Amino acid sequence: MTKNVLIIGTTTGLVSGEKLDQEKAIYATLETFHKEGYKTVLLTENRELFPEFHTLATHIVFREINLSNLKTVILQYQIDLVFPTYTANSNLHLFRNLIKQDFFKKHQVKLLNLNQQNLNLAISHKTLTSYLQNKGFRIIEHELISNLDEAMAFVDKHHFPVIIRVNNKEQRTYWNSINTKAELAKLFATTTAVEGYEIERSINNFKEVTMTSIRDRFDNAALIYSSEDIDPIGIHSNDSISVTPVFSIANSMFQRLRDAILKLTRILKIVGVCTFHLAVDEQTNSFYVLEISPLFQSKILPIIASTGYPLFEVICQVSLGKRLQEVVSLDGSKFNAAVELTPNHITARFPIWQTHNLSKLNNNLGPHKSSLGAIIVNGNNLETIIMKGFQILDLTDDIFINHPDANLSDEQIESALFHTNIRRIIAVCEALNRGFDVHEIYSFTKYNHVFLESLKHLLDLARLLEYQKGNLEVLSTCKRYGFSDFLIAHLWKITTEQVQKITAQLSLQPIALPAPSSFSLDQGAVNNYYTVFLDDPLPSLPTYQIIINDYPNSDMISNYEMTILAQQLIHQFQMDGYLVAVHGSLLSKIDSNTISDYFMDSIYNKSYLYSDQNRLNITINTLENQHLSYPLAIHNFNYQQAIFENQNVMTEIAFIQDASQQLWLSSPITNVAKQNSSQRFEVTSVPGRLSPTLAHTVINYVHQHLSNLKFGTLIMSDATVSQFIPGFTTNVGIISQINPNFTDVLCHALVGIATPKSQKSKNLFGRKISFSQLSNGLYNTKIHYFDLPEGYRKAFK
């Protein structure tokens, strides 16, 4: 009898890159369960899904993820297995409550991957500390206190700084770093604790290491991922650059960490994946376990780019009871998933902050997470991944050309080094340029020492390159360490094209290497390519008919919408039989079954991270259409705010036009803007019916003014066209859900095939997006979906 699996999806609320990573994981999970013959029910709050979800999932239930709805869905769809691995940490208490109520036992439902013990340890830091102490692990000095006097007694014994957290039952709270008595008094004056306060000796400046293990129910276990942060403890791990494999910790310490993690994995009876965050004190040769998470964390996503390990496929199959040694990947390969792979290159994860302008940020980093996304880069040395990260984050010009901190005094530079500002890296580079000693900079920043030495090496190379113009040996060295043609051209005061011509005469070649490790999986690997410069003959690559270049953006909503749109385009081009290549750091291959080739480095020097457009460039080279290029943009709300300044209500219609000027029109989306304060506003978007009159107006306008364009969006006001947008808006996700053939039509129009009429879906919904501009230069975006009234739905049809 076929079993029903309930997959717990993503929640609405704060828009972040982590939720996009969860959606990617769910996509691979649906593929895996589908292939294994299970019926799947996806419970999710997200209405803008990968289109393939509707094909792979037996049922999709759009409801709030809460205790009542969980029970209802489990009973309604006769669920046998619940798979919670990709849901948010905030949902862990739901599963703990269901276990306490014996709900799973009563209805013969199996909760995969989680049990009461690992749930308690993941939810409660106090429980985790007590458990680790009982198991013989070293514990950070701590106490449970109830008032300021008890806190000061702890400080008298262990000194400032300390970290303290308010304990409130069933409510997630955060650590506060306290450096003075005044800060401590303020905390007690402004908070109320139901269950007291936890206070700990601060371990700021220790190294932070992340390790991930996997275990099957037969007690086979392996360490599959490890990384270390460039910033020390005290900066939230997701706000720090992290590098894998671990590169600056002694092998003896690494083995101790590995042994401890595997021991805990077995003691906790983990079945599936578990991530551990650890603090390492190299002075005393000791370590502490900080956090245990039995859920997927996007922090460990570099494992796929680093080793090609098919993470999501392995998690699913181990959860279903397979041995690690008998996992079958989505491409049909059987392989040993218990092998601990060793990468032959370096992979780094760089955080992204949601802001319109990096130069205006004044956000200090600390224990509270402030970044909302990340990009992943690969390279064969630490310098290369630093340069790739700088280029994507749009820091290259400031560090190597503009030098914005050059007018600061040495004392001001020292002050900038001390403060954990997002832009501190620029001050670090300025200090190195002035001759500050690496040990001196380390004393201020506690940055990883090897990282600082690599930065110094890059700055020394830049000076050498500038002073020795035309030196081909120096040029070759710089290319090996990640210098772009644009940067070399600026330092030599020549054009980028001239640099490319000079480089072409050298034996040095840009080689695309697959990401799997040196001890790689024989089969079943997830191949992503990265670029290195080697003295090797240039390998011949396939002749791709479709090449898609993507660029990440700091705006999380447009990033999400562009990822969904790009994945749809790739899938549709593949379905039509085209050979597709993807370049850039926004998209990557996440499973072993994807056919297209993904190259994780952009072929362009320019960064669009803080642009008001999220960009994609599609190059077509078929027999019928040779060397055609189409820039495709999603304009984010920074762009649309200018429109809302003149009108509170606007309607938009996307169009696609084929070679014979046949038009495909989307259902109109009406947007209503509301300014709640000078720093807060919201936009509600609702789909409507395309009336014959409105369609006639749009068709006439496009034929008269935009007859040569393949696609775009018209802004309507009072049934007339008020503005043309060369691309789409962040409503493209709604359009693709309510007009299911949107991507199909767009692909066909680009390659010269006639466009059919628009299709309509039963999946009708509205969306409200709330924006909050913060005083530190960052902004937050929250999203909420709602069903449309039945009368409205009938009128729409």
In terms of domains, do 558 and 460 share one?
no
Distance (Å, whole) CA 389 – CA 401: 16
User: Does any domain span residue 119?
Assistant: no
User: Does any domain span residue 135?
Assistant: no
CATH code, 37: 3.40.50.20
% of residues, the chain, pLDDT over 70: 96
Has residue 509 got a pLDDT over 60?
yes
Which of 156, 180, 201 is the endpoint of a domain? 201
Helix (H, G, I), strand (E, B) or coil at 25: helix
Has residue 259 got a pLDDT over 90?
yes
User: Does any domain span residue 42?
Assistant: yes
In terms of domains, do 781 and 643 share one?
yes
Which of 486, 512, 538 is the endpoint of a domain? 512
CATH code, 622: 3.30.470
What was the pLDDT predicted at 521? 65
In terms of domains, do 791 and 719 share one?
yes
How many CB atoms within 10 Å of residue 550? 25
Question: Could you read off the pLDDT of 398-451 as tens digits, one per residue?
Answer: 999 999 999 999 999 999 998 888 889 999 999 999 999 999 999 999 999 999
Q: 409, exposed or middle or buried, with CB in 10 Å at 0-12, 13-18, 19+?
A: exposed
User: Does any domain span residue 251?
Assistant: no
**Cβ contacts of 426-433, under 8 Å, gap ≥ 24:** 426/395, 426/398, 426/399, 428/452, 428/455, 429/399, 429/455, 429/459, 430/403, 430/405, 430/406, 432/456, 432/459, 433/403, 433/459
Question: Could you read off the pLDDT of 468-499 as tens digits, one per residue?
Answer: 999 999 999 999 999 999 999 999 999 999 99
Distance (Å, whole) CA 233 – CA 229: 9
In terms of domains, do 736 and 604 share one?
yes
Question: Could you read off the pLDDT of 284-321 as tens digits, one per residue?
Answer: 899 999 999 999 999 999 999 999 999 999 999 999 99
What was the pLDDT predicted at 519? 57
204 contacts 177 by C-beta, under 8 angstroms? yes
Sheet strands side by side (includes 162-166): 142-145, 197-201, 162-166, 175-178
What was the pLDDT predicted at 762? 66
**Which of the four pLDDT bands, split at 50, 70 and 90, describes residue 464?**
very high
202 contacts 177 by C-beta, under 8 angstroms? yes
Helix (H, G, I), strand (E, B) or coil at 273: strand
In terms of domains, do 81 and 182 share one?
no
Q: Which residue has the tokens 């500390």?
A: 129
% of residues, the chain, pLDDT over 90: 70
CATH code, 192: 3.30.1490.20
In terms of domains, do 482 and 578 share one?
no
CATH code, 443: 1.10.1030.10
Region of poorest pLDDT, from 260-269, 332-341, 728-737: 332-341
Q: Which residue has the tokens 């609405």?
A: 12
Residues contacting residue 659 through CB under 8 Å, at least 6 positions apart: 749, 752, 754
Distance (Å, whole) CA 201 – CA 440: 25
Query: Span 388-402, mean pLDDT?
Result: 94
User: Does any domain span residue 570?
Assistant: yes
Which of 65, 94, 112 is the endpoint of a domain? 112
What was the pLDDT predicted at 545? 95
Q: Is the dihedral of CA 118, 123, 125, 127 positive or negative?
A: negative
Consecutive H or E run containing 513: strand 509-514
Has residue 678 got a pLDDT over 90?
no
Residues found in the chain: 797
Q: Domain of residue 17: give its range.
A: 4-112
User: Does any domain span residue 766?
Assistant: yes
Query: Span 146-162, mean pLDDT?
Result: 92
**Which of the four pLDDT bands, split at 50, 70 and 90, describes residue 173?**
low
What was the pLDDT predicted at 175? 76
In terms of domains, do 507 and 469 share one?
yes
What are φ and ψ of residue 753, in 5° steps? Answer: -105, 145
User: Does any domain span residue 616?
Assistant: yes
545 contacts 627 by C-beta, under 8 angstroms? no
Mean pLDDT of the chain, nearest integer:
91
Beta-strand ranges (E) seen in 573-710 are 580-583, 597-599, 613-620, 628-635, 649-657, 663-665, 669-675, 680-687
Region of poorest pLDDT, from 167-176, 214-223, 745-754: 167-176
In terms of domains, do 554 and 658 share one?
yes
In terms of domains, do 605 and 726 share one?
yes
Has residue 171 got a pLDDT over 60?
no
**Which of the four pLDDT bands, split at 50, 70 and 90, describes residue 172?**
low
Region of poorest pLDDT, from 75-79, 389-393, 519-523, 655-659: 519-523
> How many domains in the chain?
4
In terms of domains, do 600 and 647 share one?
yes
Query: Span 717-730, mean pLDDT?
Result: 91
What was the pLDDT predicted at 695? 94
In terms of domains, do 69 and 193 share one?
no
Question: Could you read off the pLDDT of 87-101 as tens digits, one per residue?
Answer: 888 899 999 999 999
What was the pLDDT predicted at 343? 87
**Helices (runs of H) and strands (runs of E) counted in the chain:** 27, 35
Q: 526, exposed or middle or buried, with CB in 10 Å at 0-12, 13-18, 19+?
A: buried
What was the pLDDT predicted at 796? 64
Question: Could you read off the pLDDT of 206-226 as tens digits, one per residue?
Answer: 999 999 999 999 999 999 999
In terms of domains, do 670 and 749 share one?
yes
DSSP tag of 481: T
Question: Could you read off the pLDDT of 569-626 as tens digits, one per residue?
Answer: 999 999 899 999 999 999 999 998 888 999 998 877 778 899 888 999 999 998 888 8
User: Does any domain span residue 103?
Assistant: yes
